Structure formats: structure tokens, C-alpha cells
Amino acid sequence: MGINWIYPEHEVVRNRDRCINCRVCERQCANEVHEYLSEHDKMVCDDAKCVNCHRCVSLCPTRALKIIPSGNTYRPNSNWTNRTINELYRQADTGGVLLSSMGCPQRYPVYFEKILLNASQVTNPSIDPLREPMESKVSLGARPRDIQRDENGRMINNLPPQISLSMPVMFSAMSYGSISYNAHESLARAAQELGILYNTGEGGLHEDFYEYGANTIVQVASGRFGVHSAYLNSGAAIEIKMGQGAKPGIGGHLPGTKIVGDISRTRMIPEGSDAISPAPHHDIYSIEDLRQLVYSLKTVTGHKKPVIVKIAAVHNVTAIASGIARSGADIIAIDGFRGGSGATPTRIRDNVGIPIELALASVDQRLRDEGIRDNVSIIVGGSIRSSADVVKAVALGADCVYIGTSALMALGCHLCRSCHAGKCNWGIATQEPQLTRRLNPDIGHRRLVNLMNAWRHEIKEMMGGMGINSIESLKGNRSMLRGIGLNEKELEILGIRHAGE
């Protein structure tokens, strides 16, 4: 066996008093952590295989299982942490780039947690959403500068194509391939029921889901997988993916083992071939090239669909956003560095990009300063974890948010961050039929609908508390925000005052 360089991170603890040897854990673990020894009538586990996805913990009918940090440690060192050391050993072993999944788990500031909301007291009344109308409806798209009237003085609807949403939340891009058919179906059905949109991601659109077109954003990424005229025309909007918060500057990579059957057909690439999206779009090396693609896509779709340009939040995001706002795009989506991914190089995930809160605040202000905020709507993503995050994002200036990780968590994701291994025990980030069937879209879509309904209720409660009864009066309403524990520079970028001021 040689040298065992890395001790397991987690330990599966089985309470023998509670275990009834039902073997559910054994049957449910695709990583084969659990095993029943019939000759001893007892369950055993191999901690080294455990990814801490909690499938066994969640399904154990007697709560006989828990997973804890193994506690094994190198000699404590604030510089060389256990994680750093283990990663180094792993690379010395394999010579490879470290791969991870989901969003950045490192200890960077979470600005949403340093922003507090306002509420009405005395001088104006808070509004009870259970008794008064409370509007969460949002329209995304560009607004023209001027109204036009016909010869009778009636206003002409000169609005460019819009996306109408029941609430300012959408499901962000997650490709068919990186997640399962059932996960896609759950998202599509939930979006339809909720009156919001989901996003195909860069893997094309399975023919079964064309029926959800009115609730679908079809994505065009650098690999152009699954992109054709019918696809572009099938959705309610088109998104050009320039970047992703979890991996700014690089493209996607779906291993050939996941390119099977319908996925290969949907992506229009041969079975078993790796789906590698180039880092840049090779027809977009500058902003004017982007403008051409925007207009190409508008032409293909008869100027009936808004075009979204999605970028990762990087250092000069304001200037990039300004360019996009003048490119003919209708909507800018900005993905913060905590955004998720089905597979991303660890170093990039953990070191590239900036927090979405800062990117949003500066982009919103920059576009206003330039007088072009009406040219585009702004969608932000990159770890929107609760309705409070939504409210804060909207008050900072977002028109809408994207949720990816939160949506997957509603479907069962436990953030084990091993999507790239393809053995998702929750049936989400896998294509193995035995695993994908674990996600029943009847349940999945219901849980998504529940989550969004809960958030909508909470958003309305918070709005009502502020005396606001329509989401547009919250948008960019930064006086409703106060910082806590932030320095002057941070407050300046966020455009908010400190609590107590």
C-alpha cells in the first residue's frame, strides 16, 4: 500500500445501540462506504471513501449515523493548514490540477452578512403583506429613453422584449450533463409553477423540456454545445455566457464519461467525447465582437427575446458592465466569486474574482453615473443563500438574482463538493441511472416551489417592514441598508452608511 499520505477528513460514527442493520446506508452509498458483514451481523464503514454527502445520515431510519471531522491533525501551523498540506500531498501524488466543485468555501468576507435592513417605526407605517397587496413582480429588460405616442396621443408600447417574473429570483445556469435530467425537470417545472425562469446552462435543451420554453433561458457558451436555431427560439431569453464566478477566465469541462445517450444528443457531440468549452469565446476577443454576437442572436430570434450577457465578477467588472450595457444586450448577469460549479480548478475557484456584493454595488452605481442604467437590467448570482440576501441584493441595485446552489440544496445537495466525481448520491450531479432516479422531480419541483414561496413570503415581510409594497421601490434603495463592521472604503463601494448613522 505504500505510504498513506492523507488521513480521511471525516469519520462516520455509527451508534451501535441505534443501528438495526437495515442496510439502507449500504444500499444508498455510491461511494461504498458502508458494508454489512453477514457473518458478524454488523455494519462497518470505510471513512476514507466518505465524501460527507449525508445521504446515509439523512436516510438512516434510526438516526444511528453521524459524520464528524476525523480530528486527525498535523502539527498545528497557522500558515500550513491541514488543508494546504493535504492538497500539497495530493498534487505530489498525482501531478495534477486540483479539482473541486460548488462555490468557494474559504473564509472571505460575506458582505451580505455585514449589511442590515431597515424597518418602519412611527413616522411611516409598516405594511402587513397578509392584509395588503405586496408586489414582487419584476420585469427584466431594457427601457427606452422616451415614450412615443401615435397620432391620437395614445402611447405606443416601445419596450424592447422583457422577461416578466413573479419574484426577483431565477434558477441560474446549470447544464444538462453537469446535472441530471431529473434535476432539470425539477427546475423547469418549478420555474413554470412559480412564474420565473430557469436556465439551460451550456449543454443545450433536452427535447422533453421545450414545453417549458416560456420559463426557460437558453444559454450560449463558448463551446456552443446544443446551440441551433430551434434551441435559440425555444426559450424566453438567451444568455451569452462569458464567464462564471466559480472559474473566471476558464471554460467548462464535462468529462466524456458523462456524455452519454441523451446528453450527447442534446449537446450534439459524440458519446464519450469530453465537452470542453474554450476559455474565451473564440469569436469574441473584444467588446465590439460581443456586440456582433448579441445582434446575431437577436436576428436569429426576430428581436423577440431579450439577450443576457453573463460575466464573472472580476476586478474591472464595472468597465466590462458598462461596455455590455452599450452592446445592445438587454440584461447583464454578474456571477460573484462564491458561485457554484460542477467542476472547477480549486485554485481558480478559491482565488479568482471578487464578491458579488461589491461587484453589484459598483456596477449599479457606475451605470447610473454613466446614465445607462436603463439600458440593462442586472441579475446577480454567486451565493444568494436566503431571502434576506435577495432583499439586500435588490436594495443594492439588482433587478433580480440567480440562485444555483440554493436551488440544488432544495433538491437534496448537501454541499459535499464532489460533483466532479459524478457519483452524486442525491441524484443531482450524476448521470448514473441508479443515482439519477433518486431525484424524483415530483418531489424536487415541489421542494423548489416551497423554497421560493417561502422566500417570497419573507421578501414580502421584509419589504412590508420597510413600508414598501412593490419590489421596484426596493430596487437600488440603499438607504434601507446599513453596514456593520465595515470600513469606510467598503461602505463607500457599497454606497451605504454604517449602522447607527
Give contact residues for another protein (rule: CB under 8 A). Answer: 17-20, 22-24, 27-28, 58-59, 61-64, 120, 123-125, 127, 132-133, 135, 137, 139, 143-144, 146-147, 149, 154-155, 157, 159, 162, 368, 371, 373-374, 397, 433-434, 437-440, 442-443, 466-470, 472-480
Secondary structure (3-state) at 69: strand
Shortest distance in whole angstroms from residue 493 CB to another protein: 15
Q: Which is nearer to another protein, 220 or 395 (CB)?
A: 395
Asked if 202 and 173 count as a contact pair (C-beta separation under 8 A), the reply is yes
Question: Which residue, 3 or 156, is less far from another protein as judged by CB?
Answer: 156
Using alpha carbons only, what angle is made at residue 236 by residues 139 and 211, rounded to the nearest 5 degrees? 130
Nearer to another protein, 125 or 272 (CB): 125
For the bound state, the minimum distance from the C-beta of residue 143 to another protein, rounded and expressed in Å, comes to 6
Q: How far is CA 439 from CA 183, 411, 424, 449, 453, in A?
A: 7, 7, 11, 15, 21
- Nearest approach, Cβ of 21 to another protein (angstroms)? 8
**Closest by Cα among 415, 481, 429 to 183:** 429
Kindly tell me which of 304 and 437 has the beta carbon lying closer to another protein.
437
Q: Smallest distance, Å, CB 154 to another protein?
A: 8
In terms of CB distance, is 162 or 172 closer to another protein?
A: 162
CB of 494 to another protein, least distance (A): 13
Considering the complex, state which of residue 87 and residue 370 has its C-beta at the smaller distance from another protein.
370
Q: What is the DSSP string of 193-240?
A: HHT--EE-GGG---GGGGGGGGGEEEEE-TT-TT--HHHHHHSSEEEE
Cβ atoms of 294 and 328 within 8 Å: the answer is yes
Residue 140's DSSP bridge partners are 163
CB 49 within 8 A of CB 33: yes
Residue 403 pairs in a beta bridge with 171
> Of 1 and 147, which has the nearer Cβ to another protein?
147
Q: Of 25 and 451, which CB lies nearer to another protein in the complex structure?
A: 25
Choose among 12, 30, 23: nearest CA to 62: 23
Cα radius of gyration (the chain): 24
Smallest gap, in angstroms, from Cβ of residue 59 to another protein?
6
Torsion of the alpha carbons at 237, 239, 245 and 250, rounded to the nearest 10: 160
Q: How far is the CB of 31 from another protein (least distance, A)?
A: 16
For residue 162, the minimal CB distance to another protein (Å) is 6
Q: Angle at Cα 178 formed by Cα 175 and Cα 180, nearest 5°?
A: 90
Beta bridge partners of 163: 140
442 near 432, Cβ under 8 Å?
A: no
